[in-house]
Structure 1
Amino acid sequence: MTGPLQVVWFKRDLRVVDHRPLTLAVRAGPVLPLYIVEPGLWAQPDASARQWDFAAECLKELDQALSTLGQPLYVRTGEAAQILAQLHAQRGIAALWSHEETGNGWTYARDLAVAAWARRAGVPWHEPRQFGVIRRLKSRNGWARAWDQDMAQPLTPQPTALTRLEGFQGDRLPDSATVGLAPDPCPHRQTGGRTAALTILDSFLNARGRDYRFQMSSPVTAFDASSRLSPHLTWGTISMREVAQASAARMRDLRASGDPDASRWRASLVSFIGRQHWHCHLMQKLEDEPRIEFENLHPAYNGLRPQVADPDRLAAWSEGRTGFPFVDACMRALNQHGWINFRMRAMLMSFASYHLWLPWRETGLHLARKFVDYEPGIHWSQVQMQSGTTGINTMRIYNPVKQGLDQDPDGRFVRAYLPELSDVPGAFLHEPWAWPGAARLAYPPPLVDNAAAARAAREAVHAVRQGPAHGDQARDIVARHGSRKAGIPMRGGRRKPAASSSSSPGPDPQLTLDL
């Protein structure tokens, strides 16, 4: 084959099933499946070796799937626009195909550069949607209905075969050190690849997920009870449409079954399906307003916190040695697993923003690097929400002692990650500073006074909310980003009639995203 190519550019959609760009490209001509290792992307402050290691596992399995179809994955390292220009000069590109991406600021700028090159070169660039995120959305009205319709579309079947292309010798897939990433041990990280994604989806829907609704809040139970699909959705080894349709099919089977646990299963699946909507709802915010990765959503909060974090407080929080056992155990678990349940993510961010009064951009970057499932649209929306800078969400200042007592009452989770507290009696485990033997512990005292720090933060944020221009700007933010009353089911509730759809906000989406 010597004619121009249909280039399918894989980004964070590392699969061949329900991959619309791939299937459409095959119908148009010979396909070159391309993945570009972009040093500039991996040099960003939200990138980490644990993320690359997961992605590399996904890429290896993708290469196997493509090779079985007839054409291996072509890997190149460099700048996307330059590599595409080289391919075009060498062979000719008839069309470029990829999914739309709602990524970080770097990928947004990169896509602008690629689009500019494609226009100059006269190469059409086709970008079907991957998620329920709508580019250039004019209004949120009807968004959830559009999501339902999109997810109900038939899955795009994988191609039956790819034409073998000769003369393409790509680069070897590098390890994280070669990419330029610092060592990042994560001993309990999930395994990447589509096989793992399908396995955990099946185990969640048919075995692990029965009590998801009740067990996802505590880290004691959430590691098993949550779906654990989030890194696979982030890296696209499975599509949201596949997850949505498998969830709906399981719900139908439960309605017809005589399973005595069917009602418990259905309640959990209602919650799980609602969180699939929220996944894309939050990504839509970044798509509509990319600045929220870097700037306060509500400008009244500009200057509220220091621009530069206190290095000692930031280090103590990042390393899990704040002196608050439940906070530190959650951070250490995240360091080891690359994942923790959503309520604990919210608590970590809230504690950093309120109790430690750290700027959300720096702490948000640390968490981004630790999350194997880092999804910029979800992440930065939630970082701002938990820091109180959206101007439209309830201010939640988590009491780290109360959270420990509520979510880990017998101390099992804390003891697993803080062995230095092994001698502390259970009655003092969440407040070891109150134990008479605290002086001999190899564990730091609390970094701040719990009550005083929370009170000072609450008063500072409340003062901003009482400002004269706060309300008008908050209403504008709701009109642009707020969920609609008819839109998104959650906590087992039924949708309200579509006629109630308006510009008023729906349920508060905090603590609702355990995928």
Structure 2
Amino acid sequence: MQKTTLIWFRRNLRLSDNAVLQTAVARGLPLAAVYAAERPSESANPRRAAFHHQAAAELSAALAVKGIPLFAVQGDPVETLPEWARRLNAQSVLADEAYTPSETLQDNRIWRILDAEGIAFERINDRAVFAKADIMSEYGRPYAEFAPYKQAWLQAFRQHFSGERPSETAKIPFQTAFAGLPPFPDAPQAVLAQRGGEQAAWRQWRQFLPELDVYPLLKDFPAKKATSQLGAYLSAGCISPRELAQEAAARGADVWLENLIRRDFYYQLAFHHAEMPSEPENPADAVFFQRWTKGETGFPLIDAAMRCLRKSGWLPPVLRQVTAQFWCMTLRQNWQHGAAWFAAQQTDHDEALNIGNWQAAAGLLSPHALRVLHPTVAAQQFDPDGTFIRRHVPELAHLPKDFIHTPWLAGADIDSHGYPPPLAEAV
């Protein structure tokens, strides 16, 4: 069998501006690809598994047009990837670069197996605008705080991307190296707020574009639905952060661009500061955890946010911060417990970003810049007329503006339909 280049698609499920695919095409060998499919029944996050599967199915169809097979394989990649590399007579295996300690450890184990068999294992940055070692301080060390990292990122972006056009879809020649193409398995059944795939990702971006000008004004008002909601597409790699960064910069959307900068920051933080403990020191308070996750804390905005996340798998960024700070600062619980629960709920779950956001909420990153609001003050600031609360906490929907944020003050005058009193005295 002729030698091949094997692509391992994991978090770069797209054709446009896919550096791994472009590198593979340049090798000049027939291409084959694998995707490590999760069984939703065995997944800690069935929503994310279903979303990624949808994206991979669309990618499979696009590759099939060019005669390139995408094999959906199940099992531990440490075992299955080398097996498929042998079966497909791969000269090299290419994948997108990993950042978290668990993925890095997995990649190192795979590399040792492939290297022993004379198969190259190459990883290429396809998740971030800048790779993990691209942005360093003047002393050659990684940044541990966001503000200086942002300045260095912007300077590097101006130098490397200001005159470039976004990459286009790789020109993939049609190949006939495989007699037949494998059918891609059906997507698992799941109720998703968004559909996975590159086409849906670009539709979402184009739908958001008219809102870019008002994004700085409305982004912290969750009832307005003024955020891009691209998180799941970026997490699965359905859309390129490099292309988005270039488009946002060209439109002068600096406030929105900061989201991509912070994303890069958390990626390099996960790689260079892997010593941050991921396991909690103490167990979570069972009552606190149950009422927080069910949206029964007695603080309306917190409860509306948690119920929204449970139901839809998505939460506006400002409410992720508010609910995380409530867990860490008000209830004084370990951030790891909250991060683990979020990881199981979010369709757009990305380990590095989730951990980074939770560490920030717990005051472990840039503590001098941490701003913690009383949950009632946060509610009055981010949902002033209670629209978001009424949408997700129906037992309070009838309350007037004066009591929507503090129903306990209404006393017996207003029926709150069993809504609980505050769980703790907020500090």
Q: 1:85 aligns with which of 78, 82, 104?
A: 82
Post-superposition CA distance 1:417-444 (Å, at most 9, x none) = 1111133333111111111336763111
2:248 is the alignment partner of 1:273: no
Change (3 A) 1:42 1:242: farther
Q: In structure 1, what is the equivalent of residue 405 of structure 2? A: 430
Mapped partners of 1:74, 1:160: distance in 2? 18
Quick one: structure 1 residues 85 and 239, their matched pair in 2 at CA, closer, same or farther if it must change by over 3 Å?
same
- Tell me the secondary structure at the aligned position of residue 6 of structure 1: strand
User: Equivalences for 1:300-339 in 2 at 5 Å?
Assistant: 307-339=282-314
> How many Å apart are 1:150 and its aligned residue?
4.7
Q: Give how far 1:331 is off.
A: 1.1
Give the one of 173, 191, 201 matched to 1:161.
173
What is the aligned partner in structure 2 of residue 116 from structure 1? 112
Deviates most, 380-389 or 308-317: 380-389
Residue 166 of structure 1 aligns with an amino acid whose one-letter code is: F
CA distance 1:288–1:446, shift in 2 (3 Å)? same
Q: Provide the rounded CA distance (Å) in 1 between the counterparts of 2:198 and 2:15.
A: 9
Partner of 2:395: 420
1:102 matches 2:78:
no
User: Residues 73-122 of structure 1: CA distance to partner in whole angstroms, max 9, x if unpaired?
Assistant: 2211122232233234334210111111224x432221121111122111
Structure 1 residues without counterparts, runs of 5 or longer: 178-184, 252-265, 296-304, 455-515
Letter of the 1:33 counterpart: A
CA gap of 1:51–1:424, structure 2 versus 1, over 3 A, is same
Structure 1 residue aligned with 2:122: 126
Q: CA deviation at 1:319?
A: 1.0
Q: Is the 8 A contact 1:219 1:407 kept in 2?
A: yes
Instruction: Give the corresponding residue for 1:506.
Output: none
1:390–1:281: structure 2 CA closer, same or farther, 3 Å change rule?
closer
Q: 1:147 to 1:139 in 2, by over 3 A?
A: farther
Q: Of the candidates 116, 138, 141, which is equivalent to residue 139 of structure 1?
A: 141
Answer yes or no: is the 8 Å Cα contact 1:11–1:98 preserved in 2: yes
Per the TM alignment, residue 71 of structure 1 is displaced from its structure 2 partner at its CA by 1.8
Q: C-alpha displacement at 1:210, in angstroms? A: 2.4
Per-residue Cα deviation, 1:254-309 (whole angstroms, up to 9, x for no partner): xxxxxxxxxxxx5xx121123322221222111211233616xxxxxxxxx96100
* Shift, 1:171, TM fit: 7.6
Q: Given that residues 244 and 273 in structure 1 are in contact (C-alpha distance below 8 angstroms), is that contact kept between their aligned partners in structure 2?
A: yes
Q: Residue by residue, what CA displacement relative to the aligned partner does 1:354-405 show, whole Å, maximum 9, x if unpaired?
A: 1111111111111122222222222212201111234644343221111111
Q: Distance in 2 between matches of 1:91 and 1:313?
A: 52
* Amino acid paired to 2:389: V
Following superposition, the deviation at residue 38 of structure 1 comes to: 5.2
- Tell me how many residue pairs correspond in the alignment: 409
* Contact 1:213 1:271 (8 Å CA) reproduced: yes
- Structure 2 equivalent of residue 209 of structure 1: 212
| Alpha-carbon distance, 1:407 to partner | 1.7
TM-score by length of 2: 0.88
What is residue 201 of structure 2 aligned with on the other side? 197
Sort the Cα spacing of 1:89 and 1:375 in 2 relative to 1 into closer, same or farther, 3 A. closer
After superposition, residues 464-479 of structure 1 pair within 5 angstroms as none
Which residue is 2:234 aligned to? 233
List per-residue Cα deviations over 1:318-345 (Å, max 9, x = no partner).
Answer: 1111010011001111222322221111
